[in-house]
Structure 1
Amino acid sequence: MATCRGIDVSAYQGTQNWTALKADGLVFAFAKASEGQKGRDARFATHIKGIKAAGLVPGAYHFAWPNQDPKAEAANYIAAVKPYAGKGFTHWLDLERYSDGRNYRGKSAAQIKSWVQTWLSQVQSAFPGQRIGVYTSADDLKSGYVPAGTPLWYPAYPWGAAPYSKAEAASKPKPAGWSPMIWQFTSQPMDRSICYMSAADLRAWAGGTATKPTPAPSKPQYEPFPGASWFKEGRKSPIVAAMHDRLVAVGCDHYKSSRNKDVIGSGDKASYEAWQRKLGYSGTDAKWPPGPTSWAKLHVPNV
């Protein structure tokens, strides 16, 4: 599997020699821009200017306080990064609970998910065409805080300090059934990540000319079941394209009326109903939309 290397920095890190890091094989770098409704990272401007000047794939992140106003937090982030954002710039919501829970306190899972959706929507509106993702843990994914289909930057440190080569040789993590786009595999001596794309594919993705890396046919990547209400005609998402490809693979390919495989159309409905009949469902149980059981079975390779 093709991968490329990156790091992330904040005020805790001093000035970096970004040109030398790029020469050593670094491809992307993300810098903390803001936190909460008013916080700004003191070294953000220095870091992001250096990242961009070196020709790395740039990104910024905002540390979330889901018990504050999501629109105010989005506005804080937008103002911080606006002078530097442009084509090829990526945006990340750092969604992680403080050890004492102070930034999540008083909020339910449903409220946190709504908060995340609002923040993402506000930032996407401010930077149309630019890429936005979420950095979060397996626990937060299990809690359902992140909308299905959101690019995932996932932190998990199985070894402590480790070189890139160790992460590149390891199996790709699958937190709560998700397929991360980026894995932050260590924080020692600093935060290091690998992206599950080649350098060229990541640049294309960041530039808006590619959706996500195309999975190998024998090992497709899928997202957890997003809920029956998600499957509305006209919905466009890479999840739809993955569903389309898998239905073709199992022989339920009624796609004469589906022009775009990443948009839900009548062909998708007919194909999925054929899949549900294939599983033994009948009557209303075999009708669109998908259910969690048939979705899970569809996404098992070699069914």
Structure 2
Amino acid sequence: MPDLWMPGAERLDIGDYAPTDGGTAKAIAHITWDRNASKAKPQDLVPYANLRSYFGSNPSGKAAAPHVLWDPFTGRVVQFLPANSRSKSLADRAGGTRTNRAGSVVIQVEALFFPWCRVDGKTYERLTDTPCKRWDELHDWVASWGVASSWPMGKPNGFISKRDERIWRIRSGWFGHAQVPENDHTDPGFWPTFPTTTKPPPPASGAKKYETFPGAAWFSMGRKSSIVARMHDRLVAVGCDRYKSSANKNVIGSGDVASYEAFQRKQSFTGSAATWPPGKTTWDALRVPQS
């Protein structure tokens, strides 16, 4: 299963999860557009910390939070919701076309940008004029959820609205905010090109990328090991976080038991087969990386 939380991104979980409808996987490209500037009157970019705080803790911001806030100037990324939950960044009229939920995933990305923003004395007209730092990582994570690397309604090329409800319903890929039914925004205007190469697929099982199953007896309470810490991180990444604390995460405790049993249930095991300790089948599925 792909990672619910983008590897390497800050996790600022705002809760309020809700399922998507299923169907074609989508990603939505937004820009924050916090200020109206012009070539004659550029304005300083709004600080990243302001937007992080707005979406992460302000009630109005949380009610419209995307999955991800991305700073293309520094590469900072913060994620507010897991990939498999809907967010609320799109207008979605009651009884109308589903927008925030219209796919197996509908991953919404807000790029910290507005036209004619100024950073360190330099002015940027288009998002594609910025360094677009870590775009390749962000793209690869979105693609891991089955989102096609294509623009079904055409790659954004200016602040122009173009909407087709039928294409929206049936096609997988990236859509600009300006291309989503029921929405009247014209962003993002422009968006970086998809990377020509993506991360290679995981090597074959014999390539020793992941920890081999150490045997059920190894998982004794109180055992201290870096493997336990990496298991902890993977359980969180796949949405089975039942931990009350991250302290001493390299020591097996009750949080590991609860989280791993949640993962075993997620793998369709029931009854005694879903209880601690781990078995080889679920351990291999968890893919705990080697150090």
Same fold, TM exceeding 0.5? Answer: no
Q: Which has the higher contact order (CA 8 A, sep 6+)?
A: 2
Give 1 or 2: higher helix fraction: 1
TM-score in terms of structure 2 length? 0.31
Give 1 or 2: higher strand fraction: 1
